């Protein structure tokens, strides 16, 4: 099989490195171009990872560093990226740069983004594999309206990812009226912006803009397509997002008001059966199940469960009735923010795009 040549933009950052780790040895895609800031342009990727006075290795993800071939690729300036021989772009840059650069890439080449600026554009699909792949129907309208040869697909906020994965099956079977969620988020989700001494022996009760993103993005993810128009799901969502002293993995305590009563057995069954059709595609980065349910009341825990199925499965436990909320169900979930919620999730989206014929 001829592999699709891909470019990773923002390769030296944490999100870009997560994408590169997921692409290492990939059967569909081959990394042929890397881009970063103007400051890093002209260096090999390996040189950029060791630059600085200390000469220390700046590979921030848990996976092993890329192959010597990838380390030897010369970084291009992201604003001058050559796209002639590229079949797919992974854009993993900061929000300000993403707002400017992603439309430039997508005008010519299919682009998968991990960044925020275009997530809520009405013609840009905000995709979680196995949850709302039908939203890719927006791409025909996007291309028509913008006169693009390529297209832009975005990934959600990593906190919204695990939440939406668990809400989708409940909404499909029982309907959802409203929900409350309290998150305890791993420090890797903060990138390099969190001072180490701030999180030791501590919980930080506020993450700027996080709660708003969870609320608005979840409504879009759970929306329904009417022709080539997406109607967002009109449900009430209240989120409280905190940072906890955990390396990776987001824990979320969720309470949902269902539209009709459901037994705990029905809820458990609904979680366990969700996504069966998608996982049967056996895409290279796909989990073997979307949700794993734990009967042990001490689970899920980030240290024990974030790496389930290589970080691609959401773990759920503590399923119980909530007598304060009408038809209320409460549960706890753990999801790996740096895997399904970031680089590996982006690669899984691209795998489905290839499977569905969106990539040449």
pLDDT for the residue numbered 57: 77
Whole-number average pLDDT of the chain: 95
Query: Which option is the CATH number for 158-335: 3.30.360.10, 1.10.150.20, 3.10.310.30, 3.30.160.70?
Result: 3.30.360.10
Q: Which of 359, 318, 334, 310 is nearest to 22 (CA)?
A: 310
3-state helix, strand, coil in the chain (%, to 5): 30, 25, 45
Mean pLDDT of 21-35: 97
Identify whether 158 is a catalytic site residue.
Answer: yes
In the block, which residue shows the tokens 């919980």?
Answer: 203
Tell me whether domains 4-155+343-355 and 158-335 share a fold: no
Region of residue 327 (left: phi > 0; alpha: psi -120 to 50; beta: else): left
The pLDDT-based confidence of 14 (bands split at 50, 70, 90) is confident
Architecture of the domain made up of 4-155+343-355 = 3-Layer(aba) Sandwich (3.40)
Mean pLDDT of 1-17: 93
**What does the pLDDT look like over 280-335, one tens digit per residue?**
999 999 999 999 999 999 999 999 999 999 999 999 999 999 999 999 999 999 99
pLDDT at residue 108 above 80?
yes
pLDDT at residue 61 above 90?
no
Residue ranges of domains in the chain: 4-155+343-355, 158-335
**What does the pLDDT look like over 148-173, one tens digit per residue?**
999 999 999 999 999 999 999 999 99
In the block, which residue shows the tokens 């809400």?
Answer: 167
**What does the pLDDT look like over 201-219, one tens digit per residue?**
999 999 999 999 999 999 9
pLDDT for the residue numbered 63: 80
One of 118, 135, 241, 250 is an active-site residue; which one?
Answer: 250
Identify whether 250 is a catalytic site residue.
Answer: yes
Mean pLDDT of 225-254: 96
Q: What are phi and psi of 269, to 5 degrees?
A: -60, -40
Q: What are phi and psi of 32, to 5 degrees?
A: -120, -15
One of 118, 158, 294, 336 is an active-site residue; which one?
Answer: 158
The pLDDT-based confidence of 12 (bands split at 50, 70, 90) is very high
What's the DSSP call for residue 163?
A: H
pLDDT for the residue numbered 192: 60
């Amino acid at each position: 099989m001829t592999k699709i040549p891909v470019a990773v933009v923002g390769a030296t950052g944490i999100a870009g490195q997560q994408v590169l780790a997921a692409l290492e040895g990939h059967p569909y895609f081959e990394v042929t171009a890397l881009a970063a800031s103007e400051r890093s342009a002209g260096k090999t990727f390996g040189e950029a990872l060791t630059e600085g006075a200390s000469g220390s290795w700046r590979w921030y993800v848990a996976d092993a560093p890329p192959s010597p071939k990838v380390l030897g690729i010369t970084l291009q300036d992201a604003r001058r990226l050559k796209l002639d021989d590229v079949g797919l772009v992974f854009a993993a840059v900061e929000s300000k740069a993403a707002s400017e650069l992603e439309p430039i890439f997508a005008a010519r080449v299919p682009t998968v983004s991990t960044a925020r600026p275009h997530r809520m554009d009405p013609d840009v699909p905000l995709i979680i594999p196995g949850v709302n792949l039908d939203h890719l129907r927006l791409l025909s309208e996007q291309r028509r309206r913008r006169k693009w040869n390529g297209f832009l697909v975005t990934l959600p906020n990593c906190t919204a990812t695990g939440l939406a994965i668990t809400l989708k099956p409940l909404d499909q079977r029982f309907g959802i009226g409203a929900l409350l969620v309290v998150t305890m988020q791993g420090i890797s989700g903060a990138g390099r912006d969190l001072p180490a001494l701030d999180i030791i022996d501590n919980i930080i009760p506020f993450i700027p803009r996080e709660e708003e993103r969870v609320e608005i993005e979840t409504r879009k993810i759970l929306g329904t397509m009417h022709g080539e128009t997406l109607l967002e799901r009109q449900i009430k969502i209240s989120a409280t997002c905190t940072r906890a002293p955990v390396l990776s993995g987001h824990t979320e305590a969720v309470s949902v008001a269902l539209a009709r009563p459901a037994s705990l057995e029905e809820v458990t069954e609904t979680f366990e059966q969700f996504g069966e059709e998608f996982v049967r595609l056996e895409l290279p980065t796909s989990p073997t199940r979307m949700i794993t349910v734990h009967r042990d009341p001490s689970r899920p825990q980030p240290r024990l469960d974030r790496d389930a199925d290589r970080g691609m499965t959401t773990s759920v436990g503590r399923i119980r009735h909530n007598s304060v909320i009408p038809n209320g169900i409460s549960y706890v979930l753990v999801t790996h923010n740096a895997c399904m919620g970031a680089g590996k999730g982006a690669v899984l989206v691209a795998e489905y795009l290839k499977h569905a014929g969106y990539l040449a």
